[in-house]
Structure 1
Amino acid sequence: MVAESVLKHRPALPGAIRGVWSRTRRPLGVLLIGLLAGAVPVAAAGLPASASVTAPAFTAAQPPAAVSANAVTLHVAPTTLEPLKAGQDLTVTVTVQNATPDTISPGTIDLFLAERALISRNALNNWLDPEKNRKSGDLMLSQPMTASIQPDSTEIFTIAVPADAVGLTSGNAWGARGIAATLSTGDRVRAEGRGTFVWYSDEEVTPVNVSLIMPITVPAQSAGLITSKALETFTAPTGVLSRQLDGVVGRAVTIAIDPLIIASIRILGSAAPPSAIAWLNRLDQAPNDIFPLSYADADLALQSQAGAELLLTPTTFDQAIDPALFTLTDQAGSPTADPGTQSGSGTTVPSADPATPPTDGTPPSMEELLAWEYSATDIGWPTEGAVANTDLDLFTASGLTTTILGGSNVSGAAGDFTPNAPLALGTGNGLGLVVDDPLATALRTAASASTDDAWREAMSRVSSQLAVVSAERPGTARTLLATFARGWPPSADRLTETIDALAGLLWFAPSTLTELRASVPAEDVDFDSQAEPADRVALAGQLLKRETAVTAFSSTLSDSAVVTGTQRLDLMALLSNSWASQKAGWMDAVGTSLAESSTLLGSITVATKGPINVVGSQVDIPVTLDNALNQAVTVMVRVVPSNGRLLVGDAVESTIEAQSARTVTIPVTAAVGNGAVTLRVTLLTPAGTVISEPALIPINVRADWEGLGSLLFAAFVVLFFGFGVWRNILRRRRERSEPVIEDTPETDPGSVTEPATGATEEPEEPEPMPADAAPTPLSPASASDAPTEPRA
């Protein structure tokens, strides 16, 4: 700004006011300097160090701090967003919150005006932080309190400062001015608050071009599709999606839509809630620029830093499509079809009439579920302020040419000049669009304000931020970017009011997304590499590794899309930006996901426990496999012995039906020696990827039992037949040693010879044969009676 320094000062106060100020300024100033640090927890405490003189102009200004326990806080803001002109009174509201258990006795509220105009972003941010600027300024008015402030209560005071007391005239340069208010009881300053307003004297101003982006997302969830019941709640008149769309549709705001919402409505077919169908049609008819976020608003920077090779996208929705929801009949039972309404992209979308069939009877493909006529599809919006250098390369490789960045991701801009939002990211990395953090913070605070006074305070900061930028270099147009927050809070009911109030500012001009990207890139501004929190990156890395394992495992399934499609959608939901502010809940959701995937990977198991005895040189070992899934699987069974006592062949392939078990036989060969062997049984996919922890089966090897058994059997046979031969020899010898009984002479049959009673015949002894007598040859009859020699 080129105005003279004299005009930046507040003129001398009128005599009456000057007399009052001369009596009170010195003791009050001394008291403020002594007590301000300990007694004044003000709204802008905690402003980052980057708000110093050398900080970039994109540095964030912190929103008013929450009321701390056992403290007294004060907020001051003008009652209107209209600029103050010469001759007008300055009317402000002073809000005092007593969070202590004690009553504040009636005291005095003093209003001050900053000594100088706030001509730079640094000056404005420093004024809002009493720790950086302890000078309260010139006293305008002292207002005695007429009543006490009770414990745990809030009191609002409306105070009008006469134009003479303000002391600004048409000779003062237009722009942002600082006001301060203190609450004093006796000699003690109990609280102080800072605020701003805009002074204007009909000068010609250069409006600041501001492009607004509103993300339309759903609250954090761990599932990759929104249920019908949740959609009905979100798209109800007071639902989160309805309030987001109501606030921006038809206004100068670019919509960043989560494709998860579109797909979740379309995939329900005829079962989609009527409110969701109507909501989708409203979005289709909106004239706003629209570009897609990543599916489920998965954090792009987190994916990159966790190790993703490319940015994640859905793989399939087939597992979630119910064909029955896309085949409709009329009252007579014959098939009917209704083309529904056509979106801007030509894709059929559900009709607003819930009684009208939403599709033509054919289940949609993945492309049809996600199709939309976007203004741009090459814009990435990662978590603001957490993008690293390596992330930019991955974004470009994934087809993104423009990246939305937070103010903390850049550095180098001079503190007295606000650069344009576009930023050249270097060769091959495309364009960056840098969010103006102070402006965005003030807008987000206003949109989520719960009271009129809080909203006016935030909007006065919005007005002052733009006034400072406009007055920095008169005649030089600037194009800035401001975004609304993700994870829209349930209490954010002032979005429409905020956007409409912004449009009414004289030094504001709306800018489209196309105009923003086409504006001149900022100079002397460099990309500053940042990183996601380490613990968040570590958990995300576990999720990515687990998905890789599940994908490899799914090749065993007869229908792998049921597993891989769901796994990818749920993974992207867990990486959503909406989880960033819910650390504990996110850790629980990640733990549940990892546990469920572990159960999936362990659903095919080896049921055989052992021990098993191997008593032959070649045997088949039975191994039983269990399949707990509801679809058939095909696996390879690989067995590796722990030592050389057993030799095992190649892996065996087996198909196991759903919810069943099957036994496969593994041929093994005994090698050398006996002893214990442990078989390591590993299940693999048909491609050879291990899908489960190996099972150990103990084996007792007795490889020589087969030979010993054969030897024993042969010995038994020899003994059995040898015993038979030996018995035959004995019998023959016994027969040979018995005397031969000659046949008795024939007698007359009619005669009977009776031996003499009591007489005993003595056998006659044969006469001895002479020594020289020759033996008498046997007759033929006697020769046949001779004993036979046994055969060998």
Structure 2
Amino acid sequence: MDKSVSPLGVNRPIRALLTMLSVSAITASVVVGSSPAFGNEGRAAARVDIVVQGGGIVDPADVTELSVILRADETGLLGAGEIVLRLTESRFTSEEQIRRFLAGESNPVFSEVATAQTPDVPQLESRELPLALGADLWDFRLPKDEPTNSSEPPRRQAGVFGIEVTYSHPSNMTPALRKLAGRQVIVVIPEDLVIPRANIAPIVTLTTAADGGVTLRPEELQALTIAGGAVDVVTAAVRTHPATIAIDSRITASITALGDQAPPESLAWASALGTVGLAQFGLPWADADPLGSLEIDTLTYARLGEYPWIHGDAVTNDDLETLATRSASAVLVSSNSIPSDRAVVTIGQARVIRVDAQLSALATDALQAPTPLEAEADMQRAQGLIAYRALTGNQEILIFSTGRLPATAIAPRIDAVLGRLVSMPVSNSVAVPLTVAPTEILTSVLGTANPREYREFVTRVRELWEGDVTFATIASDPEGSVFGRWTRYQALLSSTWRENPNGLATEWERAKEDSRDFRNSVRIEQGSAITVLSDQTSLPVTVVNNLPSDVVVILAVRPTTGILAVETPHVRLTIPPGDAMRALIPVQSLANGTVPVEFALFSAGGEPVGETVTIPVTIRAGWEGIISIGLAVVVGGTFAFGLIRAIQRRRGDQRATASGDEVSA
């Protein structure tokens, strides 16, 4: 069993100094790292953690080397203080004990095994403190079994132990930084002991950011699938370290929609996708929450795939029944909702695949850890759970996710983390049992309700979608007008928003604005003020249709006062796609003055369409005759004046001619 190399690159050469200064029950040796390691802000909370050298599996006959990691966050300095290391008195006797220990929900019996002083840790920096524990710690914790054959030497047992480190400095300025604690597990296996491997089935999700709810543009696809792009890197990791891959349908649908116009890199990636991984299954658009999608899906548009994967722990028996009737071959559900450790169970009519929530969280933490050393700490906690199953011979498959995050978020470390998982000396990577028969029948899930804020958000998304659907009923092809908008709302329920709440808030505002624009695609143009000079006339109104389909609307005209009467207050209009129609509304003026007239559109069912437009109409009833007479007088006077002038000019010419004749005579 090779326990000297860690795939995350955190092992160091054995230090002679540490070997000489190995500690037993209550002594410790400490060497402070000379150069600081800087963490990023992705998981920047101050913490203290432990990494066991040699990959987390130790031989009880050897010195156990540890590294204690202290990291300060943006809240301030971790002053020079004290760390205390405590080891459980006995090995864990159940998997549940390990889970509760790592979650901080139990306090087993500890013994103090080391203390040390720590240096100052400046803000946003970390320090590593190497420690060494003597082999005699395991003498009473792992006694040797008496051999059944007297000719054989006694053999030491194996076990999984818990270790806790606490940092304290009462004078730190920030109260939360005065005491920190971290927990780790140590797997102790004698070198000559051969143990079986536990079956694990990691799921790598291949998703993209869900912004816009539209297919990816060619340049986006190229950036993702080009050599070194996020999707290419994640795919290569799964090809190197076999696992099950779950593929976002937005990626494949985008390539399909572009066809031959898709980037060559994307076409090459898609053509080789079928050979990647131990198994594959599709995810809904942007890995949208299946139950949230069902909640807003008033037109049965949701394509949840053959293996819908529930977000979080909120699920009921009725939800499972609904998914089963929607052609789900199996439903992936969090272990927090399944009262069993079996990989595949039956609940009602649904076949349920158990996804281990704690292992999924540890793998996700490793992918987002600021440094490789802290990622290794997360992996060793996961290894402790896997090792216990190996030591007890439990062959049930441990299914877990490596983080339901966009490919861009997991690409930097997916190869190292996935490689670490599948190469553990205690693990055997297998495919997710998508088609395996259940091994247990359960009566119910343990699911809880989603938080109130999430339920309210889903309700608001549904209301927005329903408003768009209602608006689309004015089109001759309502489904064609609204179908392309479904993914816009489904994308709001994407798993990729979990780590980006600010991005979701921005996307929600965009969705509301986009909905307003969509519902304003059929509208009344805001005209200028109208002046009416006769008792009876027509008001001109222009209605625009920007939808790709004919629309039928009812134009309603309502004067706000009684000085104007509308002969036909409701006019049915059919407007061609991408066109505008000018309607003339007959009216009769009853008195002079100015009246605001409201113009509104309604569907055939009476639902309002777009916004009401108000146009002021000024009435000058009776002025038409006066103006006509005035114009007639002006025109007639001008004509008469011109005629008189012409006659006078002619007479003048005649007199001038006569005078000339007389002079000549």
One fold, TM greater than 0.5?
A: yes
* Counterpart contact for 1:649–1:668, Cα < 8 Å: no
Q: Which has the larger radius of gyration?
A: 1
Shift in CA distance, 580/493, structure 1 to aligned 2, threshold 3 Å? closer
Measure the CA separation in 2 of the matches of 1:308 and 1:101: 51
Quick check: 1:589 aligned with 2:507?
Answer: yes
Q: 3-state DSSP class of the match of 1:487?
A: coil
Quick check: 1:629 aligned with 2:549?
Answer: no
> Residue 236 of structure 2 corresponds to which residue in structure 1?
246
Quick check: 1:160 aligned with 2:132?
Answer: yes
Shift in CA distance, 165/544, structure 1 to aligned 2, threshold 3 Å? closer
Measure the CA separation in 2 of the matches of 1:379 and 1:391: 14
Q: Kindly provide the CA deviation profile for residues 351-384 of structure 1, in whole angstroms up to 9, marking residues without a partner as x.
A: xxxxxxxxxxxxxxxxxxxxxxxxxx52101312
Shift of 1:527: 0.7
Measure the CA separation in 2 of the matches of 1:187 and 1:625: 74
Quick check: 1:275 aligned with 2:265?
Answer: yes
Instruction: Give the 5 Å matches for 1:253-402.
Output: 253-286=243-276, 288-306=278-296, 308=298, 310=300, 312-313=302-303, 377-402=305-330
* Counterpart contact for 1:90–1:166, Cα < 8 Å: no
Shift in CA distance, 451/288, structure 1 to aligned 2, threshold 3 Å? same
Instruction: Give the 5 Å matches for 1:129-528.
Output: 132-133=106-107, 135-139=109-113, 148-149=119-120, 151-152=122-123, 153-167=125-139, 168-171=142-145, 173-181=157-165, 192-201=181-190, 205-249=195-239, 251-286=241-276, 288-306=278-296, 308=298, 310=300, 312-313=302-303, 377-411=305-339, 419-426=341-348, 428=349, 430-471=350-391, 474-488=392-406, 490=409, 493-514=412-433, 517-521=436-440, 526-528=444-446
* Counterpart contact for 1:574–1:589, Cα < 8 Å: yes
Shift of 1:169: 4.8
Measure the CA separation in 2 of the matches of 1:548 and 1:453: 49
Shift of 1:564: 2.6
* Counterpart contact for 2:22–2:132, Cα < 8 Å: no
Shift in CA distance, 258/282, structure 1 to aligned 2, threshold 3 Å? same
Give, as a single letter, the amino acid of the residue that structure 2 aligns with 1:396. Answer: A
Q: Kindly provide the CA deviation profile for residues 181-239 of structure 1, in whole angstroms up to 9, marking residues without a partner as x.
A: 45689999975543211122455645433222211001231231112222222223332
Measure the CA separation in 2 of the matches of 1:633 and 1:293: 35
Shift in CA distance, 241/459, structure 1 to aligned 2, threshold 3 Å? same
Measure the CA separation in 2 of the matches of 1:22 and 1:457: 24
Instruction: Give the 5 Å matches for 1:593-672.
Output: 593-606=511-524, 607=526, 621-627=538-544, 629=546, 633-639=550-556, 648=568, 651-655=571-575, 658=578, 660-665=580-585
* Counterpart contact for 1:646–1:677, Cα < 8 Å: no
- The CA RMSD over aligned residues, in Å, is 4.4
Shift in CA distance, 112/632, structure 1 to aligned 2, threshold 3 Å? closer
> Residue 601 of structure 2 corresponds to which residue in structure 1?
683
Give, as a single letter, the amino acid of the residue that structure 2 aligns with 1:629. Answer: N
Measure the CA separation in 1 of the matches of 2:171 and 2:521: 75
Q: 3-state DSSP class of the match of 2:490?
A: helix
> Residue 715 of structure 1 corresponds to which residue in structure 2?
none
Give, as a single letter, the amino acid of the residue that structure 2 aligns with 1:161. Answer: L
> Residue 121 of structure 1 corresponds to which residue in structure 2?
95
* Counterpart contact for 2:567–2:586, Cα < 8 Å: no
Measure the CA separation in 2 of the matches of 1:103 and 1:575: 39
Shift of 1:390: 4.4
Give, as a single letter, the amino acid of the residue that structure 2 aligns with 1:151. Answer: P
Measure the CA separation in 1 of the matches of 2:256 and 2:501: 31
Q: 3-state DSSP class of the match of 1:119?
A: coil
Give, as a single letter, the amino acid of the residue that structure 1 aligns with 2:185. Answer: T
Shift in CA distance, 287/660, structure 1 to aligned 2, threshold 3 Å? same
Measure the CA separation in 2 of the matches of 1:614 and 1:692: 31
Give, as a single letter, the amino acid of the residue that structure 2 aligns with 1:583. Answer: P
Shift of 1:557: 5.5
Shift in CA distance, 114/447, structure 1 to aligned 2, threshold 3 Å? same
Deviates more, 1:186-195 or 1:432-441: 186-195
Measure the CA separation in 2 of the matches of 1:288 and 1:130: 34
Q: Kindly provide the CA deviation profile for residues 325-357 of structure 1, in whole angstroms up to 9, marking residues without a partner as x.
A: xxxxxxxxxxxxxxxxxxxxxxxxxxxxxxxxx
Measure the CA separation in 2 of the matches of 1:267 and 1:157: 55
Shift of 1:533: 3.5
Q: 3-state DSSP class of the match of 1:91?
A: strand
Q: 3-state DSSP class of the match of 2:468?
A: helix
Q: 3-state DSSP class of the match of 2:213?
A: coil
Give, as a single letter, the amino acid of the residue that structure 2 aligns with 1:194. Answer: R
Quick check: 1:84 aligned with 2:58?
Answer: yes
Q: Structure 2 unaligned runs (5+)?
A: 1-20, 29-41, 146-155, 173-177, 626-665
Shift of 1:510: 2.9
Measure the CA separation in 2 of the matches of 1:449 and 1:548: 41
Shift of 1:294: 0.8
* Counterpart contact for 1:110–1:182, Cα < 8 Å: yes
Q: 3-state DSSP class of the match of 2:513?
A: helix
> Residue 43 of structure 1 corresponds to which residue in structure 2?
none
Q: What is the count of residue pairs matched by the alignment?
A: 565
* Counterpart contact for 2:43–2:370, Cα < 8 Å: no
Measure the CA separation in 1 of the matches of 2:447 and 2:540: 55
Shift in CA distance, 228/443, structure 1 to aligned 2, threshold 3 Å? same
Q: 3-state DSSP class of the match of 2:320?
A: helix
Shift in CA distance, 138/170, structure 1 to aligned 2, threshold 3 Å? farther
Measure the CA separation in 2 of the matches of 1:82 and 1:103: 27
Measure the CA separation in 2 of the matches of 1:22 and 1:543: 59
Q: 3-state DSSP class of the match of 2:328?
A: coil
Quick check: 1:571 aligned with 2:475?
Answer: no
Measure the CA separation in 1 of the matches of 2:496 and 2:608: 35
Q: Kindly provide the CA deviation profile for residues 491-512 of structure 1, in whole angstroms up to 9, marking residues without a partner as x.
A: 6533233333333334423332
* Counterpart contact for 1:211–1:512, Cα < 8 Å: yes
* Counterpart contact for 2:593–2:620, Cα < 8 Å: yes
Shift in CA distance, 485/108, structure 1 to aligned 2, threshold 3 Å? closer
* Counterpart contact for 2:84–2:112, Cα < 8 Å: no
Give, as a single letter, the amino acid of the residue that structure 2 aligns with 1:158. Answer: P
Shift in CA distance, 434/538, structure 1 to aligned 2, threshold 3 Å? same
Q: Structure 1 unaligned runs (5+)?
A: 1-16, 25-64, 315-376, 414-418, 710-792
Shift of 1:92: 1.7
Give, as a single letter, the amino acid of the residue that structure 1 aligns with 2:327. Answer: G
> Residue 542 of structure 1 corresponds to which residue in structure 2?
460
Give, as a single letter, the amino acid of the residue that structure 2 aligns with 1:255. Answer: I
* Counterpart contact for 2:199–2:427, Cα < 8 Å: yes
1:93 is aligned, of 63, 67, 70, to 67
Measure the CA separation in 1 of the matches of 2:585 and 2:593: 22
* Counterpart contact for 1:297–1:576, Cα < 8 Å: yes
